[in-house]
Amino acid sequence: ILDRHGYEGKVDVIGVSWGGAVAQQFAFQCQHRVNRLILAATTAGMTMVPGDWGVLSKMATPQRYVDPEYLKRNFEKLYGEGENLAGQHAIRIMPPTLVGYFAQMTAMLGWT
Q: In this predicted model, what pLDDT tens digit does every residue of 39-83 receive, in sequence order?
A: 987 766 656 666 677 887 887 788 887 887 888 888 887 777 666
H or E stretch at 89: helix 86-92
Candidate list 2, 7, 17, 105, residue with the active-site label: 17
Q: Which is nearest to 104 in space by CA: 67, 59, 51, 69?
A: 59
> Do 107 and 22 contact (CB within 8 A), yes or no?
no
Any residues with CB less than 8 A from the CB of 112 and at least 6 apart, and which?
Answer: 44, 45, 46, 47
**pTM summary value:** 0.61
Active site residue 17: yes
